[in-house]
Amino acid sequence: MYIHWSPLSCSNMHSRPHTRLITSHISQQNSKRGVAARSLLCQRTQTGHTNRWQLTGTVGSDLLGQAQVRRAEEFALQLSDRKIKSADPMALRWREDTTGSTQSPLPRLVRPLSAGQHSSVCSEVTWPSKLDTPEKQYHNLSHRVAGKAKPDAVLECLGGKWELHCPFLNNSDTLFELYTNCKKERVAQLQERGVSAQSRRAGSSLCRYGRGLVSSKCNLSGPLTLRLPVKDSSITREALSFVLRTLYDPEERPDEWGEGVISAAVLLGMSDLFQKCLTEMMTNISSSTVCRFHEVSCKFKDTALQRACEQWLELFLVTDLSCHVNLKDLPFDLLLKTLHSPRLFTLGEYDLLRAVLYWLYLQLNPLRTTLPAHSTIINFFSRETGVFLEQTHGQKYITIFQALRLHGITEWQHLQELHNIRVFPEACLFHILSNHYHNLYKGGDMTVTDFSKQAVRFGMMVDGEQEWCTKTINLYGFYFLLKAVNVGESDTYSFSIERLRHWDPALSQSSIVTRPFCMRADRSVCYHITVQSYFNSEFQEHSSGAVNQEFGLWKRCCRSKPFHVEGLSPPILVTFALAFPF
């Protein structure tokens, strides 16, 4: 290595003989100081969104940290209301510059909080109830209402501990009885302990060395421990938490009213809450709850809720429930009972058959979570190698299809679909088609032995915004116009039937060409009009009864007598049942 010495540097070195010694001493100090600084820098911890540094000691060489801290202090002076975020604001305190020295304004760490102090600080924070466990939700509410009073009892149930306060146990017969019995047992144990203590003091004079009776110490102070076993699997910790919260706040509402809530109310002996659950269920019947609510009504033998669910199914089985996957939860017996009901509403006999096919498909495919398309169901039953109702797994569904009025399906497309799905035996399809042929050949005359079971049903729904509603129907070559008209601005509606002629504008040209049209002058018709509505959990039903009338081709004899109904609230569901006796 070649080193070049300049004359100036050599002269300076000779003129200052102690330069090398001083330089070496300073370099040693700088190296030690650098090692110390590096050891301190290794302990830095980045915190916050301002990229500041926390140090265990002050280092004058940390210019970046000093600049950031100084800038943060100036920002805090300008906006005193703003707080600078830190990893642990309770563990940092800023060094105050009271002496005016040029010390580094870096933060100095103080002793961090202990676990107990940290928990006491965090206990003041209340998180949203949906993020808490059921026990935490109950604990927050009970302590807020009870004013943080000490609990009188602790309920051990479903693997949790629920602190109870005596003034709030009056609404629960079960808890009040448990508390009373446990309190009596504790009083008896305290009295027994007092008697045993007196006997020990009396025996101590006879046995100085303590050879008398020795009693085990047991905790007879503090809150009572109540143990309540739960055998009903429908009672969850969420349901139990809600029911216990109603002891402190009767206005509490669960996420959903269901079997778990009402079962917990029965378990705790809360009759008022039980009745409230039934009322809430009756006002919240829908396609997603009707099956579960009916199961609850059967479990607790509540006829009011059971009848409300059955009435809802009679109205909305075809128009609502059959459009949701919840249709698969409908029990077999309940569906059969609904199909046999004379109040069942359907837009047509084919629509009712379609709803039953949807239900059957969901029973055969229980893992299905969405409602399939109609073409999917048709293809599913069309792939059957044999007739479905003649097979072993399909014979149990025969009674369901026997409750349908298949003779009311007269459209050719629908009859072709009946043949393609391979659900019905050939003999059944032949009987349906032969009846259609004979009825058309005889001018529409039907062999009616039981009007309530043989009449063909046609339905329509009237919304609140509609002042009138009409529907054109066809049966064995006879065309009728079904009418529902709102009378004025009141809640009175008028319902009627009018026979249509082939020149009426209500008939399209295509329907006349593609469908049969009977020119018979007079047609004897037996009809029945049923008007139903469901509003604010109240069901209304009005019936005209069976009416026989001759419908001709002239205006004076082609309309039925209007059927007026008052006090209706939409939606209004109207069913026209028709039969052609001879």
SS3 573: strand
Among 3.30.2130.10, 3.30.710.10, 3.30.360.10, 3.30.530.20, name the CATH number for the domain at 130-186+223-284.
3.30.710.10
Domains of the chain by residue range: 130-186+223-284, 346-441, 452-579
Q: How far apart are CA 456 and CA 446, in angstroms?
A: 11
* Whether 231 contacts 180, CB under 8 Å: no
Task: Return contacts of 186-195, CB within 8 angstroms, 24+ apart.
Answer: 186/220, 186/224, 189/218, 189/220, 190/220, 193/220
Check pLDDT > 50 for residue 330: yes
Interval 369-396 mean pLDDT: 93
DSSP-based three-state secondary structure for 17: coil
Comparing 381 with 21, the larger pLDDT belongs to 381
Tens digits of per-residue pLDDT, 518-535?
888 889 999 999 999 988
Cα(458)–Cα(472) distance, integer angstroms: 10
Q: Is the pLDDT of residue 409 over 80?
A: yes
CATH of domain 452-579: 2.60.40
For 45-64, what is the mean pLDDT?
57
Q: Can you tell me whether residue 579 is helix, strand or coil?
A: strand
Specify the DSSP class assigned to residue 146: T
Token representation of residue 98: 């009271």
DSSP string, 470-491: EEEEEETTEEEEEEEEE-TTSS
**The token pair that represents 315 in the structure block:** 């109205």
**What percent of the chain has a predicted confidence (pLDDT) above 70?**
73
pLDDT at 193 (0 to 100): 74
Q: Cα 418 to the chain's mean position, in Å?
A: 38
Q: 146-203 pLDDT, tens per residue?
A: 887 899 999 999 999 999 999 999 999 999 999 999 998 888 887 777 666 666 665 5
Instruction: Report how far residue 263's alpha carbon sits from residue 232's, in angstroms, rounded to the nearest whole number.
Output: 8
Reported confidence tier of residue 84, pLDDT bands at 50, 70, 90: very low
pTM: 0.73
